[in-house]
Amino acid sequence: MIRLGVLASHQGTNFQALLDACQAGKLHAQIAILICNNSAAPVLQRARSAGVPTMHLSGATHPDPELLDGAMLKALKHAKTDLVVLAGYMKKLGTQTLTAYCNRLINVHPSLLPRHGGKGMYGMRVHARVIKSGDRETGATVHQVVGEYDRGEILLQGKTPVRETDTPETLASRVHKIEHDILIRAIHDLQSGIEPCQKSPL
């Protein structure tokens, strides 16, 4: 069983989907820690209600970016994290964390990358851009995390048509379901190549 460190910023629907998959046995994994950069985010209550350890780490707790990066890495290591999952996390990770968890950091993004990715492209902004661009299909992408937003290797994508009647909200409701599905599938696919924390050098 691998241990997941989940990073989230807001509602936590992807976190909930992962938690449900772990509890149902769809994933041979355990969420070891939830780290959030928003102390008022509903995802924190979701985690606490499920008994998942939580931590708030942000510019408010650590104004120095290097110290914040160090605190993030320390928390992940202390939780014996094998795979780090960004599930609606809105901040860049620091060099220490990126290096220590190289190839063990994944993110789910609400578009078909490389379209509609990059700085400032998240949530409803992405879906509004998809509609404005006249795209005929959209979806979600799970990719490796690197130093630049949404630039890592694409691991898995799921698609849905864009309808003439779609609004950002209706599009989001369909894409959310795709995000949940491909995130669980991607973790399942990656599990065989990840050694559990007891054997990890971290």
Q: Rounded CA gap, 95 and 99, in Å?
A: 6
Q: Phi/psi of residue 133, each to 5°?
A: -75, -10
Q: Which of 28, 56, 78, 109 is catalytic?
A: 109
Torsion 35-39-40-45 (CA) sign: positive
Q: Known catalytic residue: 127?
A: no
Longest dimension (CA), the chain: 52
108 three-state secondary structure: strand
- Residues assigned a catalytic role: 109
